[in-house]
Amino acid sequence: MQALVVDDSSTMRKVLKSILAGAGFDVIEAKCGPDALECLKQSRPDLALFDWNMPEMTGIELLGKVRADRACDDMKIMMVTTESEQMEIARALREGANEYLMKPFTRDSILDKLRMIGLL
């Protein structure tokens, strides 16, 4: 399985990549929404993890663009972010996120979410 990690923090990408690789995913990384959209032209990962607060394009904007692409219908998307307002969580789920995880997180919390969406 393949996963796309989208976060403007290289440290966060590294942490998520390590967790996902340990769970058997081949991981590709993008530092912003436009880069993620370019990655999606090349491959269709099984899973994508989006940060919310990024320059150029927010994670919620990226979510909208990805969910508008019918070719990405089967891709599971998890928001992994510091946004903790209930309204924002509800918005992300309404707009097509399969799961939502707040930072800081643990390896086990990521794996639990992957089990919830049927990827482990």
Summarize pLDDT for 81-103 with one digit per residue, the tens. 998 888 999 999 999 999 999 99
Question: What pTM, to 2 d.p., does this model score?
Answer: 0.95
Please tell me the number of Cα atoms within 13 Å of 107 on its side-chain side.
9
Which helix (H) or strand (E) covers residue 23, if one does?
Answer: none
Domain segments of the chain as ranges:
2-115
User: Given CA atoms 7, 11, 17, 23 in this order, what sign does their dihedral have?
Assistant: negative
Its CATH class, for the domain covering 2-115, is alpha beta
pLDDT band per the 50, 70, 90 thresholds, residue 10: very high
pLDDT digits (tens, 9 = 90+) for 53-75: 999 999 999 999 999 999 999 99
